[in-house]
Amino acid sequence: QVQLVESGGGLVQAGGSLRLSCTASGRAFSEYTMGWFRQAPGKEREFVGIISWLGGTIWYADSVKGRFTISRDNDLNTMYLQMDSVEPEDTAVYSCASHSLPRTVTIEPEEAEFTTWGQGTQVTVSS
């Protein structure tokens, strides 16, 4: 079983940048598609984006496309979320998750495909 730990959250001004990390331990990180999700207060959890196991496929939600960048370093068992030009609407708890199946990627996947989750990290964007 894989364990996921997010870090890098905090308070940032609108227009600024922040980089989140998701570090995995346990099963082979390099064989699994990973995803970033977020949940704002009073709202349902939503996709931010996904990256396939070798990074060949990356998909972003329209709300973050062009501002956020997902990457991964399989040697470090870590996935990243570079957040640029942040907006107050980006305020949320950001969580990473691992796909349930190895070497599997789906564009616009169902959330249920991701079965292992980190505890989340809070990002607050001030206006």
Full pLDDT tens readout for the chain, 127 residues: 789 999 999 999 999 999 999 999 987 899 999 999 999 999 999 999 999 999 999 999 999 999 999 999 999 999 999 999 999 999 999 999 999 999 999 888 889 999 999 999 999 999 9
Cα 119 from Cα 60, distance rounded (Å): 21
pLDDT of residue 1: 77
Ramachandran angles phi, psi of 88, nearest 5°: -55, -30
pLDDT of residue 72: 98
Q: Report the C-alpha dihedral over residues 94, 52, 98, 8, rounded to 10 degrees.
A: -30
pLDDT of residue 28: 87
pLDDT of residue 26: 81
pLDDT of residue 50: 97
Q: How far is CA 101 from the centre of its chain?
A: 17
